[in-house]
A = this chain, B = another copy of it.
Amino acid sequence: MNLKGQHILSAKQFDKELLLEIFQQAKKFEENGGDGCLKGKIMATLFCEPSTRTRFSFETAMLRLGGDVVSNFDMMNNSSFTKRETLFDTGKVVSQMVDVIVMRHPVPVALHELAKGSEVPVINAGNGPQDHPTQAMLDAYTIWKEFGKLDGLTVGVIGDLKYSRVLHSQVMALKNFGVKFVLVSPKELQLPVDLKERIDFVESENLSEVISEMDVISVNRIQEERFASKEEAEKFRGKFVVNNQILARAKEKAIVLCPLPRVEELPTEIDGDGRIRFFTQVKNGVFVRMALLKMVLG
């Protein structure tokens, strides 16, 4: 699949071949550092939700390839939005000036409006509860590097499976590889039905019973910003904690993933455990985004 000039809006766009191509390219960057392949290219980051990690990851990826960045990381407050411009027009306008646009927005459809207007590739850096395709890529890359493959692995996904866009994208990406899922969540926060229909899974509300089956332990915090009220979210907080006691029952070769920030679900007592990979994921994220930017900008 040739990504040149394409919008990257959803993990649904990825197939196995594409992901493997990205992994190979990311690995090259990890081993040899960035080449200057994007010199003279400019990326705009438009962030309408607070973020440091994801924005820095895209921006450092661009810079490490020799490209440049312009940024509006407080776009809700600092932009012509306040002068009532449509997102279609914003996409049209920004794309006259830059070579690629990276956007985060709390409303899923906002991204698609912007992409319709844009004359350059738009990359989704998180659109509300819907999708976060590059996070899924880096999750998959982290697993692939660790196990040398993805096919046949058992991936446990734990926590808020309803609202976590990262998890939704992760599931979409991993399903390309014949992965078996173990879904662990409160009844109220189960994976949406349309996703369940596409995957091979078992479901459980008892983490300690199923932890030993997992090759990959993917922990997803309660997405409190998606709930109607803070109290509503509070009910589920700390329901599934991956602590030392739980990890004692996990496979020796398992790895623990988390899109971060980690909160109660991953207490600091596990920081010495050789199986955690959530900070390695951040490092991997830069390489994966370098690979993606190179492919999208040709």
Question: Which residues of A does B touch, CB under 8 Å?
Answer: 33-34, 40, 42, 44, 46-47, 50-53, 55-57, 59-60, 63-64, 68-75, 77-86, 88-90, 92-94, 96-98, 221, 225, 260-263, 268, 279-280, 282-283, 285-286
Decide: B56 and A70 in contact? CB cutoff 8 A.
yes
Given known A-B contacts A78-B73, A89-B261, A96 and B51 have beta carbons under 8 A apart: no
With a cutoff of 8 Å between Cβ atoms, the chain B residues found around residue A57 in the complex are 97
With a cutoff of 8 Å between Cβ atoms, the chain B residues found around residue A50 in the complex are 77-83
With a cutoff of 8 Å between Cβ atoms, the chain B residues found around residue A42 in the complex are 60, 63-64
Decide: B74 and A77 in contact? CB cutoff 8 A.
yes
With a cutoff of 8 Å between Cβ atoms, the chain B residues found around residue A40 in the complex are 33-34, 64
Q: How far is the CB of A119 from chain B (nearest CB, A)?
A: 9
Decide: B283 and A83 in contact? CB cutoff 8 A.
no
Q: How far is the CA of A47 from the CA of B78 in the complex (A)?
A: 10
Decide: A60 and B260 in contact? CB cutoff 8 A.
no
Q: How far is the CA of A56 from the CA of B120 in the complex (A)?
A: 15
With a cutoff of 8 Å between Cβ atoms, the chain B residues found around residue A78 in the complex are 47, 50-52, 73-74
Decide: A282 and B93 in contact? CB cutoff 8 A.
yes
Decide: A52 and B77 in contact? CB cutoff 8 A.
no
| Listed A/B pairs (13) with beta-carbon separation below 8 Å | A34-B40, A40-B64, A50-B78, A50-B81, A52-B93, A55-B72, A56-B72, A56-B94, A60-B97, A85-B263, A93-B282, A96-B279, A96-B280
Q: How far is the CA of A19 from the CA of B260 in the complex (A)?
A: 40
Decide: A260 and B70 in contact? CB cutoff 8 A.
no
> In the complex, which residue of chain B has the Cβ closest to the Cβ of A260?
B93
> In the complex, which residue of chain B has the Cβ closest to the Cβ of A69?
B70
Given known A-B contacts A63-B68, A85-B260, A263-B84, A75 and B52 have beta carbons under 8 A apart: yes
Q: How far is the CA of A79 from the CA of B53 in the complex (A)?
A: 8
| Of A50, A57, A79, A98, most B-chain CB atoms within 10 Å | A50
Q: How far is the CA of A86 from the CA of B224 in the complex (A)?
A: 17
Decide: A279 and B92 in contact? CB cutoff 8 A.
yes
With a cutoff of 8 Å between Cβ atoms, the chain B residues found around residue A46 in the complex are 52
> In the complex, which residue of chain B has the Cβ closest to the Cβ of A57?
B97
